[in-house]
């Protein structure tokens, strides 16, 4: 027997038959090297066999029985449960054409939660209110095989303090007060407790018998699934706390006679677990010094720019250092305006401080807040010098009265401040169009980029790159990617900026990493229909792009006309 053959036999010596073992043993008597090898294998094998097991994990047990509804061997009470409805739904979800009604309860309602958690206080549930006539389920949304979309924008209204470890519940009710709904019931734990930062863990199904709706919590997303062929009627989304409706005004209604079809799923992003940073009363450093007083409420104490020269089509990060001159009970929105030499407004960006995480109502008097904004420079503007103006107006005010800027003697000198450094905009890079029938998409990218040898679906150049990765239904959804809680353990400076977008009616999440960290971004977008590549099904696509080109690429991304699902094969 040759050494090579014998080596394989030695690897499975324990399993050799009598005849095989006799043959090997005969060789071993003559070959010291092989005998030593077997000796080593057996010694190491014994070491591996002695490795300890982990202790029993009570959480695993609890989660298994909770998810299955079954009762454990050691559990008391009546046994049994059926997961049939869950499985049916999950199979549908994983399957294909199902997907996705999105109730854009994009848990805007919970956005405030991040900062109502301040200082370890109990979470506060921000309730819902129906903006007039904004909920609709148009009858023609299913044209062309696209999944129907139920859009239910939910606006923040009153806040309701939650008791520690209480539950929140989302219900969907039928017309005439008939509750055909199940409920989403999920645990809200106190910050810092086990499971809080994990998001919400499965609590099983709570639903009325024969309900066409089911609610499930998977990972960090609450799913509400329609399980019958269709339900016709008025759809209401109501928020409950501990089984008591928080406020009747928080009901969101679909238009009359909406039809909600089998397989549709409502998603609700759960409250982000955002730890409050300690307020800082030390003036932070800034690249450029500039002071301004906004009506004795807020002061500008300096600012930083990610670049002084930028190409048209790229994004400039403007970091503004603010100081609260007084405690404010009113929320204000920051605006940034980009002006050309002739004082024409060419771009603007409006938003709550720190992407909504630091509303001015959370600022302590004297506190400094560092507030970064991404200002997209249009690709079609002329090269040249541009100025940036910043200011404040009351959040949500349709006819905003801006905060006046006061000089040192308290006189009103305007309603915005021009930053004292200009930026130079250079001509945009010429673009090429990337089209992939495999991924079913098209988008523009800088013409200088070339395919990277040895890497699949990867293009790059001296100033950036993109790479494509299809994602299975159980991998990463845009909603998960945009869940701030996923990044809450990162140092503040390393947290990405998250933007939940809609591109061609599909939910997408743009993840922009801080430039100082890696200069990379990801765009995660759901497909209108799952695609199949090499026999595997994918529900979403991740497009990794350098930060400077992320918006440009995202803005030009389109799904190409969808053919019936086939099994495309990669060309070599």
Partner 1 sequence: MIRGVARDESTTQVIDLFENHQREILTYLYRLLRDHEAARDLAQETFLRVFRARGQLGQIENPRAWLYRIATNLALTNLKRRQRWTWLPWSGTDESRARAETHDQAYTTSAVEEALTKLPAHYRAPLLLYEHYGLNVAELAQVLNLSESAVKLRLFRAREMFRAVYGEKEEK
What end-to-end distance do the CA atoms of the chain give, in Å? 42
204 binds partner 1 (CB under 8 A): yes
Q: Please count the residues of this chain forming the interface with partner 1, following the rule CB under 8 A.
A: 72
Task: Specify the stretch interacting with partner 1 by CB under 8 A; choose among 127-135, 201-209, 232-240, 547-555.
Answer: 201-209
DSSP for 333-375 reads: EEEEEEE-TT--EEEEEEE-GGGGTS-GGGPPTT-EEEEEEEE
Minimum distance from residue 475 beta carbon to partner 1 (Å): 6
In sequence order, what are the beta bridge partners of 128? 156
Minimum distance from residue 208 beta carbon to partner 1 (Å): 9
Minimum distance from residue 488 beta carbon to partner 1 (Å): 8
> According to CB under 8 A, which one of 2, 32, 53, 309 is a site residue for partner 1?
53
Angle, nearest 10°, between helix axes 3-11 and 32-49?
Answer: 20
Q: For strands 182-187 and 244-245, give the pairing.
A: unpaired
> According to CB under 8 A, which one of 1, 11, 289, 560 is a site residue for partner 1?
11
The DSSP output letter for 312 is T
83 binds partner 1 (CB under 8 A): yes
Closest CB to partner 1 among 10 and 441?
A: 10
- Our measurement of the distance from residue 311's CA atom to the centroid of its chain's CA atoms, rounded to an integer in Å, reads 28
| Stretch (H or E) spanning 90 | helix 84-95
CA separation for the pair 231, 235 (Å, rounded) = 9
Report the site for partner 1 in 510-539 (rule: CB under 8 A): 511, 513, 517-518, 520, 522
Minimum distance from residue 205 beta carbon to partner 1 (Å): 6
| Stretch (H or E) spanning 168 | strand 167-173
372 binds partner 1 (CB under 8 A): no
Closest CB to partner 1 among 36 and 382?
A: 36
Report the site for partner 1 in 31-50 (rule: CB under 8 A): 39-49
Report the site for partner 1 in 124-183 (rule: CB under 8 A): none
In sequence order, what are the beta bridge partners of 209? none
For 424, the 3-state DSSP assignment is strand
Task: Specify the stretch interacting with partner 1 by CB under 8 A; choose among 55-63, 171-179, 320-328, 407-415.
Answer: 55-63
Closest CB to partner 1 among 64 and 288?
A: 64
Report the site for partner 1 in 440-479 (rule: CB under 8 A): 469, 475-476
CA separation for the pair 560, 553 (Å, rounded) = 15
Closest CB to partner 1 among 98 and 338?
A: 98
CA geometry: angle at 327 spanning 325 and 333, to 5°?
80
Report the site for partner 1 in 277-336 (rule: CB under 8 A): none
| Stretch (H or E) spanning 540 | strand 536-546
193 binds partner 1 (CB under 8 A): no
Minimum distance from residue 545 beta carbon to partner 1 (Å): 12
Residue 4's CB: how many other CB atoms inside 10 A?
7
Contact (Cβ atoms closer than 8 angstroms) between residue 178 and residue 231? no
Minimum distance from residue 375 beta carbon to partner 1 (Å): 23
CA separation for the pair 216, 204 (Å, rounded) = 7
> According to CB under 8 A, which one of 51, 132, 143, 409 is a site residue for partner 1?
51
Contact (Cβ atoms closer than 8 angstroms) between residue 471 and residue 527? no
Nearest to 125 by CA among 269, 252, 249, 246: 246
> According to CB under 8 A, which one of 12, 22, 26, 447 is a site residue for partner 1?
12
Strand positions, DSSP E, 41-166: 124-129, 155-161
Task: Specify the stretch interacting with partner 1 by CB under 8 A; choose among 2-10, 127-135, 136-144, 362-370.
Answer: 2-10
> According to CB under 8 A, which one of 31, 81, 299, 325 is a site residue for partner 1?
81
Closest CB to partner 1 among 253 and 475?
A: 475
55 binds partner 1 (CB under 8 A): yes
Contact (Cβ atoms closer than 8 angstroms) between residue 124 and residue 555? no
> According to CB under 8 A, which one of 25, 72, 158, 330 is a site residue for partner 1?
72
64 binds partner 1 (CB under 8 A): yes
Give the CA radius of gyration of the chain: 29
Closest CB to partner 1 among 22 and 44?
A: 44
CA geometry: angle at 508 spanning 503 and 513, to 5°?
125
Report the site for partner 1 in 484-513 (rule: CB under 8 A): 485-487, 489-490, 494-496, 511, 513
Minimum distance from residue 439 beta carbon to partner 1 (Å): 15
> According to CB under 8 A, which one of 20, 23, 31, 70 is a site residue for partner 1?
70
CA separation for the pair 195, 273 (Å, rounded) = 10
Closest CB to partner 1 among 79 and 326?
A: 79
94 binds partner 1 (CB under 8 A): no
Closest CB to partner 1 among 225 and 235?
A: 225
């Amino acid at each position: 027997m040759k050494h090579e053959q014998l080596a394989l036999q030695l690897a499975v010596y324990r399993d050799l038959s009598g005849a095989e073992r006799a043959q090997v043993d005969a060789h071993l008597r003559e070959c010291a090297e092989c005998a030593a090898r077997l000796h080593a294998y057996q010694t190491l094998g014994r070491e591996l066999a002695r490795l300890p097991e982990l202790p029993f994990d009570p959480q695993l047990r609890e989660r298994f029985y909770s998810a299955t509804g079954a009762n454990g061997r050691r559990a008391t009470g009546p046994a049994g449960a059926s997961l049939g409805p869950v499985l049916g739904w999950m199979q549908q979800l994983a399957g294909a054409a199902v997907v996705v009604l999105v109730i854009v309860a994009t848990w805007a309602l919970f956005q405030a939660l991040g900062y109502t958690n301040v200082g370890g206080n109990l979470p506060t549930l921000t309730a819902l209110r129906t903006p007039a006539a904004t909920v609709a389920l148009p009858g023609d949304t299913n044209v062309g095989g696209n999944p129907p979309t139920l859009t239910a924008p939910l606006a923040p209204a009153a806040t309701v303090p939650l008791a520690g470890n209480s539950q929140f519940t989302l219900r969907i009710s039928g017309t005439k007060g008939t509750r055909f709904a199940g409920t989403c019931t999920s645990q809200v734990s106190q910050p810092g407790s086990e499971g809080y930062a994990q998001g919400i863990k499965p609590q099983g199904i709570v639903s009325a018998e024969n309900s066409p709706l089911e609610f499930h919590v998977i990972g960090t997303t609450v799913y509400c699934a329609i399980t019958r062929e269709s339900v016709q009627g008025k759809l209401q989304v109501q928020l409950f706390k501990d089984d008591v409706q928080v406020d009747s005004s928080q009901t969101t209604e679909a238009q009359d006679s909406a039809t909600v079809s089998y397989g549709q799923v409502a998603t609700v992003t759960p409250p982000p677990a955002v730890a409050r940073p300690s307020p800082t009363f030390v003036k932070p450093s800034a690249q450029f010094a500039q002071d301004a007083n906004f009506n004795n409420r807020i002061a500008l104490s300096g600012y930083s720019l990610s670049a002084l020269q930028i190409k048209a089509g790229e994004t400039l990060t403007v970091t503004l250092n603010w100081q609260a001159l007084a405690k404010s009970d009113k929320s204000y929105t920051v605006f940034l305006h980009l002006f050309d030499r002739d004082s024409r407004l060419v771009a603007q960006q409006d938003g709550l401080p720190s992407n909504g995480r630091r509303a001015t109502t959370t600022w302590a008097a004297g506190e400094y807040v560092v507030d970064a904004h991404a200002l997209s420079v249009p690709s079609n503007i002329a090269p040249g010098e541009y100025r940036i103006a910043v200011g404040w107006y009351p959040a949500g005010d349709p006819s905003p009265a801006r905060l006046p800027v006061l000089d040192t003697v308290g006189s009103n000198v305007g309603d915005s401040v021009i930053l004292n450094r200009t930026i130079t905009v250079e001509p945009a890079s010429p673009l090429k169009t990337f089209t992939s029938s495999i991924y079913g998409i098209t988008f523009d990218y800088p013409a200088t980029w070339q395919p990277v040898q040895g890497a699949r679906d990867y293009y790059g150049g001296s100033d950036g790159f993109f790479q494509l990765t299809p994602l299975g239904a159980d991998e990463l959804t845009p909603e998960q990617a945009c869940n701030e809680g996923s990044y809450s353990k990162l140092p503040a400076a390393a947290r990405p900026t998250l933007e939940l977008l809609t591109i061609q009616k599909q939910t997408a999440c743009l993840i922009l990493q801080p430039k100082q960290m890696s200069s990379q971004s990801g765009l995660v977008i759901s497909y209108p229909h799952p695609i199949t590549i090499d026999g595997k099904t994918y529900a979403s696509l991740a497009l990794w792009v350098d930060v400077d080109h992320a918006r440009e690429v995202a803005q030009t991304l389109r799904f190409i006309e969808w053919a019936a699902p086939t099994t495309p094969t990669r060309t070599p």
